[in-house]
């Protein structure tokens, strides 16, 4: 197996799900010794081996369960009792899921968007900034973020999200915010939030319902006004409020 850390990095970047399996202890006769590693993908294809045979097949089965649960686990296998291998062996295997990073889509890379991107990148989010303004995106040179330089509404219409997507809408105009939200609220995601005052939000909700743009259920899943409530005033403080809410949603989802 090639460098394990590089392999894991590539898997996470690809968006695939997998599990790292490591033999941590053996007794008696066993196919491989402690430190042997294997990566099992969601479709049960593998990279590397922990010895083949019945033990490897069982570890592959347990690895898919770990991928589904999202939590690491250690398994013990008695090679005689569990597999009838008649070798008197015993093995413990640590299995840890390799899951894609949560993606944070920020519509609007202005002051709040930039502050949020810089903060959230330190908390395991993959940052994707959406903004058509070339002069704004130049301010992110050297940052390890992905950029989509499209009109806000065009991007929201074209993009597909998923269960690990967190969407923050903080464009420079109320009209853009509402039009982007009207599209994003109907798509699969872990979180959708829109910046705005209580008055702006109340008017938006009223229009969405009166014009049959969103249902009440779709509106209820949107975090608006966005973030954890406290007396935030500067862009950096507002970004802290938003990030706190994102972390709360992410950690609650993973319980």
CA distances (Å), origin 48, targets 20, 34, 81? 10, 14, 26
Torsion of CA 198, 239, 99, 15, to 10 degrees: 80
The residue among 63, 98, 133 that closes a domain is 98
Shared-domain flag, residues 150 and 219: yes
65-73, long-range: CB < 8 A, 24+ apart? 66/19, 66/95, 66/96, 66/97, 67/17, 67/18, 67/19, 67/40, 67/42, 67/97, 67/99, 69/97, 70/97, 70/99, 70/254, 71/97, 72/96, 72/97
pLDDT of residue 1: 54
Q: Read off the pLDDT of residues 15-52 as tens digits, 9 standing for 90 and up.
A: 788 999 999 988 776 667 888 999 999 998 999 888 87
The encoded tokens of residue 215 equal: 């249902």
Asked if the model's pLDDT at residue 221 lies above 80, the reply is yes
Q: Read off the pLDDT of residues 149-162 as tens digits, 9 standing for 90 and up.
A: 999 999 999 998 98
Q: Which domain holds residue 80?
A: 4-98
CA distances (Å), origin 55, targets 40, 66, 80, 85? 14, 16, 11, 9
The tokens 């259920």 sit on which residue?
217
| Cα–Cα distance, 245 to 233 (Å, whole number) | 16
| Cα–Cα distance, 228 to 241 (Å, whole number) | 5
What's the whole-number average pLDDT of the chain? 88
Shared-domain flag, residues 40 and 110: no
Task: Report which of 136, 225, 229, 127 is spatially closest to residue 177, judged by C-alpha positions.
Answer: 225
Shared-domain flag, residues 16 and 51: yes
Q: Rounded to a whole number, what is the distance in angstroms from the first to the last CA of the chain? A: 32
151 — phi, psi (to 5°)? -55, 140
Shared-domain flag, residues 114 and 225: yes
Shared-domain flag, residues 89 and 208: no
Shared-domain flag, residues 50 and 138: no
The percentage of the chain sitting over the pLDDT mark of 70, rounded to a whole number, equals: 93
Shared-domain flag, residues 13 and 76: yes
User: Please, which pLDDT band fits residue 69 given cuts at 50, 70 and 90?
Assistant: confident
Asked if the model's pLDDT at residue 255 lies above 80, the reply is no
Residues forming a β-bridge with 191: 166
The residue among 98, 117, 150 that closes a domain is 98
The residue among 50, 67, 98 that closes a domain is 98
CA distances (Å), origin 35, targets 43, 97, 175, 231, 250? 24, 17, 57, 51, 32
Q: In 3-state terms, what secondary structure has residue 105?
A: strand
Shared-domain flag, residues 92 and 111: no
Q: What is the CATH number of the domain that holds 152?
A: 3.40.50.720
How many domains does the chain contain in total?
Answer: 2
Shared-domain flag, residues 221 and 125: yes
Tell me the whole-structure pTM to 2 decimals. Answer: 0.73
239: Cα within 13 Å, side-chain hemisphere = 20
Q: Read off the pLDDT of residues 117-163 as tens digits, 9 standing for 90 and up.
A: 999 988 889 999 999 998 888 778 888 889 999 999 999 999 989 88
What's the sign of the alpha-carbon dihedral 183, 186, 188, 189?
positive
Residue 159 DSSP code: -
Q: Read off the pLDDT of residues 171-217 as tens digits, 9 standing for 90 and up.
A: 999 999 999 999 999 999 999 999 988 899 999 999 999 999 999 99
Shared-domain flag, residues 125 and 159: yes
Shared-domain flag, residues 78 and 111: no
The encoded tokens of residue 64 equal: 């898919």
Residues forming a β-bridge with 193: 168, 223
Shared-domain flag, residues 166 and 117: yes
């Amino acid at each position: 197996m090639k460098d394990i850390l590089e392999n894991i990095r590539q898997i996470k970047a690809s968006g695939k799900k997998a599990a790292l399996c490591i033999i941590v202890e053996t007794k008696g006769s066993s196919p491989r010794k402690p430190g042997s590693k294997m990566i099992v993908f969601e479709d049960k294809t593998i990279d590397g081996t922990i010895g083949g045979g019945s033990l490897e097949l069982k570890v592959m089965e347990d690895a898919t369960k770990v991928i589904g649960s999202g939590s690491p686990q250690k398994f013990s296998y008695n090679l005689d009792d569990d597999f009838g291998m008649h070798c008197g062996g015993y093995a413990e295997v640590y299995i840890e899921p390799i899951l894609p990073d949560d993606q944070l889509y920020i519509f609007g890379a202005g002051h709040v968007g930039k502050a949020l991107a810089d903060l959230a990148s330190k908390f395991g989010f993959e940052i994707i900034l959406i903004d058509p303004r070339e002069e704004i995106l130049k301010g992110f040179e050297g940052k390890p973020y992905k950029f989509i330089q499209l009109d806000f509404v065009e991007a929201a219409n074209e993009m597909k999200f998923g269960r690990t997507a967190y969407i923050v809408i903080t464009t420079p105009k109320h009209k853009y915010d509402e039009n982007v939200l009207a599209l994003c609220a109907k798509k699969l995601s872990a979180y959708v939030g829109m910046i705005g005052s209580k008055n702006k939000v109340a008017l938006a909700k009223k229009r969405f319902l009166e014009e049959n743009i969103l249902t009440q259920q779709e509106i209820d899943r949107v975090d608006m006004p966005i973030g954890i409530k406290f007396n935030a005033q500067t862009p950096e403080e507002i970004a802290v409020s938003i990030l706190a809410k994102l972390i709360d949603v992410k950690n609650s989802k993973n319980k």
